[in-house]
């Protein structure tokens, strides 16, 4: 395989295809009820980086286990970042993704924070395009289904000293998915954690790195024990303000139809779904505010009805209604506990664009196949 190439985008990726792939019947069986993140396609995209040579060996290769040295830096110091985006099949069979440049930009920002090498937008998009060109048959067409794309980058150097890795691997894997939460799109319950925090000022909260998610797992386990699907974190500095959920942003809908979400404080992730929802709502003329939201304010608003709806949003979650908010000394139902009209309408507006059912006025769709 040559390490230098003049081709760009998807054409730069050499195709080393699997000698045997799943049959049409087996693929159909695996895609029938995909769940989230358990089934993977036949191939993966990959690029290797070394401090000496930069990014080389752009290739598509069979999906399979990686050979990683037990002393690889990522296994010890967690130098890793990832992204999440989806490929949607439209009614005419074409395949599209949503705002991939935004994911590429966030991936580059995460790389800077984790002292990993930046990947160009062309390589980020090229890897996704090349993978979907090869594994396009894995993009499902059922309601609420898509091909979840997971780009990630990790420190692969065999070295136990604590410094940025001089060798890095970038991969994209793909998984046909249905709704993130089991049981389909339905209101979920949230546990508000007042003990643990996800990220602190000056930390990695705004980066999409594995460490942030690792820090969320114990509180997430606590949430499950309390009968909730997700955990909500408060800011680490004061323990007062809502930050985000374990793997998604959060928004409040007022009784007057206005929408409020925690401001980007440097400790929360700037979700692509979050920013798309805010832009869509603003274009509709709705009042949208990004500001610190105290847990006390949310509790009072749910109690007096001035907060009518609460929802989670993210690539995986799309727009998920929140029906109940629990903490050590409170247990509040949001509205009547069912999906509110504004939440339902935002979800519909967004998914209509993603699935090609309505005009893409913002130019957010990017054709993959
Ligand atoms: C996403 O929404 O794509 C995420 O990365 C959240 C979660 C699945 C980790």
Ligand 1 centroid – CA 59 distance (Å): 25
Residue 365 included in any domain: no
Report in angstroms the alpha-carbon separations of 111 from 51, 150, 185, 363.
14, 15, 33, 26
Which residues are bridge partners to 319 per DSSP? Answer: 313
User: Residues 149, 199: one domain?
Assistant: no
Question: How many Å lie between the centroid of ligand 1 and the Cα of residue 332?
Answer: 26
Domain shared by 165 and 213, yes or no: no
Compute the distance between CA of residue 283 and CA of residue 25 in angstroms, rounded to an integer.
44
Task: Answer whether residue 67 is part of any domain.
Answer: yes
Please tell me the residue having the least CA distance from ligand 1 atom 5. Answer: 84
CB neighbour list of residue 47: distance below 8 Å, 6 or more residues apart: 55, 56, 57, 58, 59, 119, 123, 127, 169, 170
Nearest to 123 by CA among 54, 218, 225: 54
Residue 315 CB less than 6 A away from ligand 1: yes
Q: What are phi and psi of 303, to 5 degrees?
A: -70, -40
Last residue of some domain: 177, 205, 239? 177
Residue 260: what pLDDT? 98
Residue 334: which CATH number?
A: 3.20.10.10
Last residue of a domain, one of 133, 152, 177: 177
Q: Is 159 among the domain residues?
A: yes
192 and 291 assigned to the same domain:
yes
Distance 4 CA to ligand 1 centre (A): 33
Asked if 278 and 286 count as a contact pair (C-beta separation under 8 A), the reply is no
Cα–Cα distance, 38 to 314 (Å, whole number): 19
Q: Which residue in 157, 170, 164 sits closest to 81, CA to CA?
A: 170
Rounded to 5 degrees, φ, ψ at 74 are -60, -30
Q: Looking at the structure, do residues 225 and 161 belong to the same domain, yes or no?
A: no
DSSP state, residue 123? H
**Closest Cα partner for 40 from 31, 53, 52?**
31
Whether the predicted pLDDT of 230 surpasses 60 = yes
Residue among 246, 295, 241 at smallest CA distance from 269:
246
Residues 124, 254: one domain? Answer: no
Are 339 and 305 in the same domain? yes
* 140 contacts 34 by C-beta, under 8 angstroms: yes
**Exposure letters 332-361 (e unless 16+ CB within 10 A, then b):** bebbeeebbebbbebbebbbebbbbeeeee
Examine the domain organization and report whether 94 and 28 are in the same domain: yes
Q: Are residues 21 and 143 in the same domain?
A: yes
Residue 302 and residue 221 share a domain? yes
Q: Cα 90 vs. chain centroid, distance in angstroms?
A: 21
DSSP-derived letter for residue 167 is E
Q: Does the residue 360 lie in any domain?
A: no
Average pLDDT taken over every residue of the chain:
96
Query: 153-209, pLDDT tens digit by residue?
Result: 999 999 999 999 999 999 999 999 998 988 778 999 999 999 999 999 999 999 999
**Domain-embedded: residue 183:** no
Q: Give alpha helix (H) positions in the chain.
A: 24-32, 74-77, 100-113, 121-135, 210-225, 272-283, 295-304, 341-354
pLDDT in tens, 260-306: 999 998 999 999 999 999 999 999 999 999 999 999 999 999 999 99
200 and 299 belong to one structural domain = yes
Atom of ligand 1 nearest to the CA of 213: 9
Flag whether pLDDT at 9 surpasses 70: yes
Residue 368 domain flag = no
Are 173 and 273 contained in the same domain? no
The answer as to whether 361 is a domain residue is no
> Looking at ligand 1, which residue's alpha carbon is closest to its atom 7?
247
Contact yes or no for 284/255 (Cβ under 8 A)? no
pLDDT of residue 178: 92
**Which domain range does residue 85 map to?**
9-177
pLDDT of residue 7: 81
CATH number at residue 107: 3.30.470.10
Q: For the chain, how many residues are written?
A: 369
End of a domain among 177, 199, 229?
A: 177
CB of 340 closer than 6 angstroms to any ligand 1 atom: no
Tally of domains in the chain: 2
Query: Do 72 and 212 sit in the same domain of this protein?
Result: no
What's residue 184's pLDDT?
Answer: 75
Per the CB < 8 A criterion, the answer to whether 82 and 269 are in contact is no
Q: Pairing relation of β-strands 14-15 and 54-62?
A: parallel
Å from CA of 53 to ligand 1 middle: 31
- 138 in a structural domain: yes
Kindly tell me if the per-residue pLDDT of 118 is higher than 60: yes
CA of 318 to the centre of ligand 1 (A): 10
């Amino acid at each position: 395989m040559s390490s230098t190439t003049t081709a760009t985008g998807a054409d730069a990726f050499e195709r080393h295809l699997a000698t045997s792939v799943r049959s049409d019947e087996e693929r159909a069986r695996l895609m029938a009820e995909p769940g989230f993140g358990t089934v993977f396609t036949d191939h993966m995209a990959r690029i290797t980086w070394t401090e000496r040579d930069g990014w080389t060996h752009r290739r598509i290769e069979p999906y399979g286990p990686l050979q990683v040295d037990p002393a690889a830096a990522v296994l010890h110091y967690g130098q890793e970042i990832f992204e999440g985006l989806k490929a949607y099949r439209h009614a005419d069979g074409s395949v599209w993704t949503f705002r991939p440049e935004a994911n590429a930009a966030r991936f580059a920002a995460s790389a800077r924070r984790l002292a990993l090498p930046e990947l160009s937008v062309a390589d980020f998009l090229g890897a996704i395009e090349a993978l979907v060109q090869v594994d396009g048959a894995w993009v499902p067409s059922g309601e609420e289904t898509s091909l979840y794309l997971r780009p990630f980058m990790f420190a692969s150097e065999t070295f136990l000293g604590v410094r940025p890795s001089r060798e890095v691997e970038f991969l994209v894997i793909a998984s046909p998915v249905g709704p993130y939460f089991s049981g389909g799109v339905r209101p979920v319950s949230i546990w508000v954690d007042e003990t643990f925090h996800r990220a602190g000022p000056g930390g990695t909260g705004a980066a999409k790195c594995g460490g942030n998610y690792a820090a969320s797992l114990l509180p997430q386990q606590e949430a499950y024990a309390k009968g909730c699907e997700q955990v909500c974190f408060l800011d680490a500095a004061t323990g007062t303000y809502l930050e985000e959920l374990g793997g998604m942003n959060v928004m409040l809908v007022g009784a007057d139809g206005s929408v409020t979400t925690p401001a980007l404080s440097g400790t929360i992730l700037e979700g692509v779904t979050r920013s798309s929802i805010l832009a869509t709502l603003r274009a509709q003329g709705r009042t949208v505010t990004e500001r610190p939201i105290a847990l006390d304010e949310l509790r009072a608003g749910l109690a007096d009805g001035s907060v009518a709806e609460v929802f989670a949003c993210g690539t995986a979650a799309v727009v998920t209604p929140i029906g109940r908010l629990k903490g050590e000394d409170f247990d509040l139902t949001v509205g009547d506990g069912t999906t509110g009209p504004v939440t339902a309408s935002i979800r519909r507006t967004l998914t209509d664009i993603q699935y090609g059912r309505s005009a893409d006025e913002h130019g957010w769709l990017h054709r993959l196949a």
